[in-house]
Structure 1
C-alpha cells in the first residue's frame, strides 16, 4: 500500500508527474507553509519581485514546457495575477494558479482578516471567470479528486486553472480515491468520418488551397502531425501573428505571416484568392486578422479548432483539431505539384555606418542576422512585436508574444519562464521602454538564478504604439538609464546605443558574454516606427 500523503505532497507530486520543475511566486503568510513544503520537494521555488512577473513567467514556462505554476498569497497576491491569468486564458496557456488562503477554522463568523476584500469566496469568484476549472481544497476526503480534476482540465483544455489552498489544509493527510483517470473529451466518430470525407473532396477539387496554421497546433503538441500533412499534400502555409514560428520559417511551403491589410500584399492576395482555406487551430482575433481587414470567405473555408470543425456554413460538433488532423493524414488527399508561391523575404542586414543614428528599420535587420537556432525571441506588445513579424525564426516555437491579449510587460518575466523551461535556449527579449518600466525589475530574479537573457529596450521615451493613435503628454515617460541597470544588480552588462556601429559592437559582445544578462538601451526617435506598427496604428486611430 502506498504511503499516505499530505494534501500538499499529493499536489506537488501531481505537478511533478506532468513535467513541472519550477514554481514561480511571491510568498505571503497564508501560503508560507506551502512554500516550505515546496522547498522540500523536487520542484524549485523561483520567487520573483512581483506577482505579475511570476504570472507572466509561469505563462511563458507553460508555452515551452506544457504546464506552468504560479503560487501567491490570498487576494493581495492573487488579485495581482488576474491579468496574467486572463492572458493565459485568452491565448490558451495551461497555468496552474495556487493561492494560499485563510484556514477553514479562521473563517467562522466571517471575521475581518487581513487581505480579505468582501467575502472569503470573493477571490474564487473572480478566478472562476478567467479559468477553465477552479476549486477550494477544504476537505481531505475530496482533495485528491479535486486536484486531479482541475489539473487535468488545464492539460485537456490548455487553459489556466485555480486551486485555493487554506493554510490549515497544507499538512493534512489526503484520503486516496480510486476513480478512472483521463476522462476523454466528447467525441463523435461519425461526425469525424463525415468531416474528413467532405474535407477530402473540397481539398482535392480545389485549384489553390492554402493552410492557415494556428497557435493551437503548438498548444496541443500537433506540430509533427502538421508537418506530415504539409509533406503529404504540398499545400502552402501561412501563420498568424499569434502562431509565428509554429513551424520553422525555412520550410519550403511556408509563405510568411498573414495579417490582412496590415501585412505583405502578395501574401494577402494569395491567401484571399484561395478557393480552399484550411484553417487549423487559428484564432480569428482582431490582431491576427489585421484589425479585421482580412477577407476570408467562410464559404471557401475548412476551419478546425480544439472543439469542433466548421466546413463552409455548417459545423461538426465534438470533432477535435487533433482527431481531424490525424484523420487527414490517413485520408486520400492528392499531393500537389510545387507551384509558384510567395516566400518569406528575409530582412537583409545593412552595413553599419559609424556615427549614423540608429533606426527601427536598422535594428530589426541587424537582429535578424544575429538570431540563431538556440535563440528564442520573446516580444512584448507594441513595435517590439509588430516590428518582429518579418524577422526569421529558425526553429519551431521559438517566438513568443501576447499577440491576442496584448498585455504590456510580458517579455522580461517571460524570459525567466523560457530559460528555466529549456536551459539550452537563450532568450532575446524585445521590449519597449513603457513595458520595461512595468516588469523590468524581474531582471533581479534573472540575476539571482544566473540566467542570461539579452534585453533589447526600444527606448523612445514613451508609449510609441499609442502616439500615432492619439498623442498627448499621457504617452510620455521618464527616461531611465537602462544600460546602468547591471550596476544596480551587480550583475550583467549594459550598453547605451545611439548609432549603428554601437549596436553591432553590443550584439557581438552580447554573444561573447553568453552567461551574463545583457541590456541594450537602443535610443530611437519618438516618431520612428516600423511599417507594420504604422499601418495598425492608423487602423486603431480610426476607432479611438
Structure 2
C-alpha cells in the first residue's frame, strides 16, 4: 500500500492534499458513485489506510448518507461524476444546504482541454458549455470552486473554510486531468489553520446590553432551542447555561435532543397550536423569549401558528440578531458562536427556582391487549418506553416525524429529521451515515413503507458494512400523510407490497446477520421491543402493520392548520 499522503504515482498531488484535509477533519469514510471523470481521484482513496471508500447505490443516496454522517462528526464528503452524477445528487445536497449540514461534494469534471475546446462529450448538454451544473448549485446558494492548475490548493482551502466556519455545504469541481497535479508537501502545514475558529468579532455594545438586561430582569423567561445550536456544536454550552440559570426551555421538531430533554427545566416540544394547553400557556406568558438558532418553518410551527410576540423576543440565528422586533445585527454565520457564547456569559444573581423533578420518570411500558392490532397511538407509547439514553432516533417526514414529537427523550438521546426540506426517502440513508460515523450509539429508524421504497437500495450498503440499525418499518400500505392531506382512498397513494424478509436476503443478508419480524398485534410489538433491549446488535427490521388511515392525532391537527385556507 502506498504511504498515506502520497499518490499512486509516488508524488504528492492535489488529490492527496484534499484527502489529507478531509482526514484532518475527522472523516474516515468517503461516499459516492464511481464515474469515468472521477476514477483517478478514487484511486487516491484506495491507496490510503486512513480513509475508506464506501460506494453507494446511487448519488442521491450518497448525498443523504453524507448528511447523516456530518450530523454526527461535523463534516462529510461524497464524490460524483460530472452532469448525470451531480444532478442525481442535487436533491440530497440541497437538503444539506437548507438544513445547514456541512457536506462537501467532490465532482469529477471533464479535462481542462475538453472544456476549453468545447467538445461535445458524454454527460454534458452537448453545447460546449461546462458550467451549467455548477451554476445550478450556485443558484441554490451553495458555494462552488473548481480546481485549476494555478489555484489548486487555494480552491480546496476556500471550500473547507466555508464548511468549517458556516456549517453550510460546498461544491468542489476536480478536472480529471488535474488529479495528479503536483503540489508542494509544505502546504500540509496549512491544514490545521483551516479548522481553527474565526477570530471573534466584538459584540456590539447596545445589543449585548439588552441581552444582559433581559437575562437579569426576566420574570418569566423561555428559551427555544434550535437546530443551529447542533450545527455549531453549541448545545453543551447552552445546556450548562440553562442549568446554571434555571431557565425553562422548549425545543422544536428540528432540535429534539440538542439540549437533553431529561433536564428539569424542559417543558416540551413546542409546535404552535398543536402543542398542549400548558405548553402554549408557557409561551404566551413569557416576558422574554430567547430564540436560539431556530428555523421557524411551517412544519416546525404548525403552519406558522407559533405565539412568539416580537416585542418580547430575542432572536439569534446564524444570519441575524433581532431584539424586540428590531433587527440590530446582520452577520455572517461564522459569528453566530460568538453571540451564543456571549449570551452564556450573562448570569443572574440567583438562578430561577424549579419545582419539577430533577429527572423525569421514564414512560411506563404500555400494557398490550391480546390479539389487538397495533395502532399509531400504541406504537408511540411503546416507542417512548423503548428509546434508551444516548439513542439516535431518525424519523422520516410524515407519520414517523409526528410520532416522536410528544416523546420526552431520555438523557442524551437525540432525533435526526428533516422538517424543512422534507424529502421522503432521506431518513434511511441518513441513519446509515449517522451510524457509520458513530457506531457506539444505538440507532432507531422510524420510517414508512412508502418512504423506504425510495432508498432501500442502501440495504446492500448496510449489509456490506455490517451496520446494525433497528428499522421500525411502519407498513401502512402507502403514503399516509398524503392520504390525510387529500384523497384518502386515491390509488396514487398506494405502494407495492414487498416481502421484506426476502428483500434482506436478496441484498446479501444471512440468517446470522439480521433479525426480522412481521408485527400485527400489540403483544408482538412489546415482545420484540423487550427482546431487543439486551440483544446482540444486528441489522433488525420490524415490519409493523398499521391501517392505511391510522395517523397520529398531531399530524391530523397539523394538516388541518396547514391547509385550512384551501
TM class, shorter-length: over 0.9
Aligned-pair CA distance for 1:202: 2.4
The corresponding residue for 1:150 is: 159
TM-score (norm 1): 0.94
- Answering whether residue 331 of structure 2 is matched by residue 316 of structure 1, we say no
Unaligned runs of 5+ in 1: none
The corresponding residue for 2:366 is: 350
Alpha-carbon deviations, 1:85-123, whole Å to 9, x = none? 111111110000111111112224322211112521111
The corresponding residue for 1:116 is: 124
- Answering whether residue 104 of structure 2 is matched by residue 96 of structure 1, we say yes
Q: Which moved more, 1:200-209 or 1:324-333?
A: 324-333
- Answering whether residue 170 of structure 2 is matched by residue 161 of structure 1, we say yes
The corresponding residue for 1:448 is: 464
2:536 to 514, 522, 543: 514
Aligned-pair CA distance for 1:30: 1.0
Contact 1:281 1:306 in 2 (8 A): yes
1:331 to 346, 353, 362: 346
TM-score (norm 2): 0.90
For the residue of structure 2 that corresponds to 1:514, the secondary structure is coil
Contact 2:215 2:347 in 1 (8 A): no
Q: Which moved more, 1:480-489 or 1:454-463?
A: 480-489
For the residue of structure 1 that corresponds to 2:555, the secondary structure is helix
For the residue of structure 1 that corresponds to 2:247, the secondary structure is coil
- Answering whether residue 251 of structure 2 is matched by residue 239 of structure 1, we say yes
- Answering whether residue 80 of structure 2 is matched by residue 68 of structure 1, we say no
Aligned-pair CA distance for 1:370: 1.4
The corresponding residue for 1:20 is: 27
2:261 to 244, 249, 253: 249
Q: Distance in 1 between matches of 2:216 and 2:51?
A: 50
Contact 1:61 1:420 in 2 (8 A): yes
The corresponding residue for 2:479 is: 463
Aligned-pair CA distance for 1:461: 0.8
Contact 1:401 1:411 in 2 (8 A): yes
Correspondences of 1:259-298 after superposition (within 5 Å): 259-298=271-310
CA separation of 1:129 and 1:12: change in aligned 2, threshold 3 A = same
For the residue of structure 2 that corresponds to 1:152, the secondary structure is helix
Correspondences of 1:482-493 after superposition (within 5 Å): 482-491=500-509, 492-493=514-515
Q: Distance in 1 between matches of 2:110 and 2:507?
A: 35
Q: Which moved more, 1:9-18 or 1:417-426?
A: 417-426
Aligned-pair CA distance for 1:142: 1.0
Q: Distance in 2 between matches of 1:397 and 1:316?
A: 35
Aligned-pair CA distance for 1:203: 3.0
Contact 1:483 1:520 in 2 (8 A): no
Query: Across the two proteins, how many residue pairs are aligned to each other?
Result: 541
Q: Distance in 1 between matches of 2:201 and 2:55?
A: 45
For the residue of structure 1 that corresponds to 2:483, the secondary structure is coil
Q: Distance in 2 between matches of 1:397 and 1:85?
A: 26
- Answering whether residue 393 of structure 2 is matched by residue 377 of structure 1, we say yes
Q: Distance in 1 between matches of 2:413 and 2:82?
A: 34
Q: Distance in 2 between matches of 1:360 and 1:300?
A: 38
Aligned-pair CA distance for 1:340: 5.3
For the residue of structure 2 that corresponds to 1:377, the secondary structure is strand
The corresponding residue for 2:559 is: 537
Aligned-pair CA distance for 1:151: 1.0
Alpha-carbon deviations, 1:12-42, whole Å to 9, x = none? 0011111111111111111111111111122
For the residue of structure 1 that corresponds to 2:543, the secondary structure is strand
Contact 2:443 2:470 in 1 (8 A): yes
Q: Distance in 2 between matches of 1:190 and 1:14?
A: 31
- Answering whether residue 189 of structure 2 is matched by residue 189 of structure 1, we say no
Q: Which moved more, 1:315-324 or 1:7-16?
A: 315-324
Q: Which moved more, 1:353-362 or 1:334-343?
A: 334-343
